[in-house]
Amino acid sequence: MRKFLLMLLVSCHVASFQIVVAYAAGYESAEDALQSYKKAVHLIDQRKFSGAISLLKESLNVDIEDRAQKAGVFHMLGYSYRKTGRFKSALGYYKQALKLKPDHRGAHEYIGEAYLALKNPELAKYHLDRLQIICGTLCEEYKDLKEAYDAYTAGTRLGGR
């Protein structure tokens, strides 16, 4: 289910990703930048996160006017860094995504999971609470982070963490 949801998330990002280019980073057109982003998403789907990180960073060298779209790039960078175990970098990109789009559900979920991996359940709980405000307790992002949070706290109570 999570793989399907990740693929759906990635598909939505690709479908909505339109870049306004300031002729930077060697891109000659918005289409070139979009193709680079699509390649990054494809690499993420193949779990080739390092290659995706390079392409996503290139996408940030162009003028992305839409804040939600730029937040999506930061979110995907955070996801890629988190999946490579570079949690501090991941946190930085998730925070940038949330600065641009404070109600970005995916960024709240995944930053919460990163905080759990870093043994900081208080900050994970903050993002769980934010998700409850943003989308209630029935949205997938809330349910996934709640499940991870509950598993973490249950392990802590049992002396497992």
Q: Which helix (H) or strand (E) holds 70?
A: helix 67-83
Whole-number Å distance between alpha carbons of 80 and 74: 10
Q: What is the pLDDT of residue 5?
A: 43
| Ranges of each domain in the chain | 14-154
Provide the greatest CA pair distance for the chain.
57
- Which numeric CATH code is attached to 14-154? 1.25.40.10
Neighbouring residues of 114: CB distance < 8 A, sequence distance ≥ 6: 78, 82, 87, 90, 91, 94
Q: What is the pLDDT of residue 19?
A: 42
Q: What is the pLDDT of residue 62?
A: 74
Q: pTM for the complete prediction?
A: 0.80
Q: What is the pLDDT of residue 157?
A: 61
Q: What is the pLDDT of residue 114?
A: 98
Please list the alpha-helical segments (H only) found in 19-120.
30-45, 49-59, 67-83, 87-100, 105-117
- Write the DSSP symbol of residue 120: -
Regions of the chain with pLDDT less than 50: 4-5, 7-8, 10-12, 14-25, 28
Q: Which helix (H) or strand (E) holds 132?
A: helix 121-135
Q: What is the pLDDT of residue 59?
A: 83
Q: What is the pLDDT of residue 66?
A: 79
Q: Tokens 């641009």 identify what position?
A: 100
Whole-number Å distance between alpha carbons of 58 and 62: 8
| Polymer length in residues for the chain | 161
Q: What is the pLDDT of residue 69?
A: 86
Q: What is the pLDDT of residue 22?
A: 38
Q: What is the pLDDT of residue 25?
A: 47
